[in-house]
Amino acid sequence: MSFLKRMIKDGIREGVSNAIGDAVKGAVEPAATNLANKAAAKIEDVAEKVNAEAAEKQAETKSAFSGLEGAFANLEKAAQSYATEISKNMKVCPECNTPTDAAKKFCPECGAKLPEETVADSSVCKECGTQNTPGTKFCQECGAKLPAAEKEEADAQAKDNDVMATWDEYMSMYPKWTFGGKDMVLEDYGGHIYFGMTFNTSFAAQNAVRQYKALLEDNGFVQAGKYPSENELYKMIDGVCYHVSFSNCFENDPERPGISFATGEPQGGFDWSPQKEKQKEREEFMEGLNKVKGLFGKK
Ligand SMILES: [Zn+2]
Ligand SMILES: [Zn+2]
């Protein structure tokens, strides 16, 4: 699979869980509103009846109101079970993310083959068989992790594995990142690669970055150039200067470091030194002097 194609696929994977959440929310909200409207209409009905036939309808009013209380108290539960019902008849396309009718075999949007599993199936507990509300991670009955949550984690892991496979393929000149994190990205900006990942704490992020710097140094990456910095490490391999930059590492988020990889020598050149600079100045001076001599025809 090409680098570009994999990047596109990764983006789609990320969208799938969002789409499930959105689709369920979209189904639940109108249902809840509808239920509330019906309840309000019933209150009005009962109030009219009370005016007309106060005494004999008292009992009916009372029972109607107690029923309403129950309806409101159970509104959330009703909405949840409604969401579950909807999701029993819903599949999500693994390719384009479109929610669709469970009876369909192929996605109406993109033609991809749809899975056997409905959205509700992925919320059935493997341990005790309870049908849970879609979107929950753990079984409401026994606390076991639900298949949907397991799949989400497996997808995230697969995506990170893809990123590291891309690293193997394109970045073998740099020591491989083995310092954890999740939700990894490797983006190619044409000769400039950005690698980022998320940690739970900024401490963990800083620690991981520190370890990677040490690994780079163990592998021969050094500070170099006229203005050496511990955030810019370089290594010359077969005449090409490989450069790892940590300068903007924590610029956006202290828990999400970003490291830049590119080729190119530092200012002054990879093997800049004060002696070399002086030597170069001398050479340039002599060159200039010779040119001037040439102009005047002297030897
Ligand atoms: Zn599709
Ligand atoms: Zn369970």
Q: Residue 26: pLDDT above 80?
A: no
**pLDDT tens track for 234-280:** 999 999 999 999 999 999 899 999 999 999 999 989 988 888 888 88
- Closest-approaching ligand to the CA atom of 93: 1
Residue 91 falls inside a structural domain: yes
The pLDDT of residue 27: 58
Residue predicted with more confidence, 12 or 202: 202
| Distance between Cα 123 and ligand 2 center (Å) | 10
Q: Let me know whether 127 and 8 are in one domain.
A: yes
The pLDDT of residue 266: 95
- Closest-approaching ligand to the CA atom of 124: 2
Q: Which one of 154, 186, 208 terminates a domain?
A: 154
| Distance between Cα 151 and ligand 1 center (Å) | 19
Confidence class of residue 200 from pLDDT cuts 50, 70 and 90? very high
Confidence class of residue 231 from pLDDT cuts 50, 70 and 90? very high
| Distance between Cα 92 and ligand 2 center (Å) | 24
- Closest-approaching ligand to the CA atom of 99: 1
Q: Let me know whether 111 and 21 are in one domain.
A: yes
Q: Residue 64: pLDDT above 70?
A: no
| Distance between Cα 97 and ligand 1 center (Å) | 6
| Distance between Cα 251 and ligand 1 center (Å) | 37
| Distance between Cα 26 and ligand 1 center (Å) | 19
Q: Which one of 154, 180, 211 terminates a domain?
A: 154
Average pLDDT over residues 93-105: 89
Residue 203 falls inside a structural domain: yes
| Distance between Cα 114 and ligand 1 center (Å) | 8
Paired sense of beta strands 258-263 and 240-245, if any: antiparallel
How much of the chain, in percent, has pLDDT values that exceed 70? 75
Residue 86 falls inside a structural domain: yes
| Distance between Cα 129 and ligand 2 center (Å) | 6
Residue 277 CA to residue 110 CA, distance in Å, equals: 62
Neighbours of ion ligand 2 (CB under 5 A): 125, 127-128, 130, 139, 141-142, 144
> What residues make up the domain containing 217?
171-263
| Distance between Cα 92 and ligand 1 center (Å) | 8
| Distance between Cα 89 and ligand 1 center (Å) | 16
| Residue 217 burial (C-beta neighbours within 10 Å; 0-12, 13-18, 19+) | middle
Average pLDDT over residues 224-228: 94
| Distance between Cα 50 and ligand 1 center (Å) | 55
The pLDDT of residue 127: 96
Q: Let me know whether 45 and 150 are in one domain.
A: yes
Q: Residue 12: pLDDT above 50?
A: no
- Closest-approaching ligand to the CA atom of 109: 1
The two most distant CA atoms of the chain are separated, in Å, by 129
Confidence class of residue 133 from pLDDT cuts 50, 70 and 90? confident
**Count of domains in the chain?**
2
- Closest-approaching ligand to the CA atom of 142: 2
Confidence class of residue 296 from pLDDT cuts 50, 70 and 90? confident
The pLDDT of residue 40: 62
Q: Residue 5: pLDDT above 70?
A: no
Mean pLDDT (the chain, rounded): 84
Paired sense of beta strands 182-188 and 90-92, if any: unpaired
Q: Residue 65: pLDDT above 70?
A: no
The pLDDT of residue 1: 44
The pLDDT of residue 157: 94
| Distance between Cα 95 and ligand 1 center (Å) | 5
The pLDDT of residue 58: 65
The pLDDT of residue 4: 47
Print the SS3 string covering the chain. CCHHHHHHHHHHHHHHHHHHHHHHHHHHHHHHHHHHHHHHHHHHHHHHHHHHCHHHHHHHHHHHHHHHHHHHHCHHHHHHHHHHHHHHCEEECCCCCCEEECCCCECCCCCCECCCCCCCHHHECCCCCCECCCCCCECCCCCCECHHHHHHHHHHHHHHHHHHHHHHHHCCCCCCCCCCCEEEEEEECCCEEEEEEECCCHHHHHHHHHHHHHHHHHCCCECCCCCCECCEEEEEECCEEEEEECCCCCCCCCCCCEEEEEECCCCCCCCCCHHHHHHHHHHHHHHHHHHHHHHCCCC
State the pTM of this model: 0.60
**pLDDT tens track for 44-54:** 676 666 566 66
| Distance between Cα 20 and ligand 1 center (Å) | 13
| Distance between Cα 89 and ligand 2 center (Å) | 22
- Closest-approaching ligand to the CA atom of 139: 2
Q: Let me know whether 175 and 150 are in one domain.
A: no
The pLDDT of residue 227: 94
Q: Let me know whether 194 and 62 are in one domain.
A: no
Angle between helices 75-88 and 54-73 (to 10 degrees): 60
- Closest-approaching ligand to the CA atom of 128: 2
Q: Let me know whether 21 and 121 are in one domain.
A: yes
Q: Let me know whether 66 and 140 are in one domain.
A: yes
The pLDDT of residue 16: 47
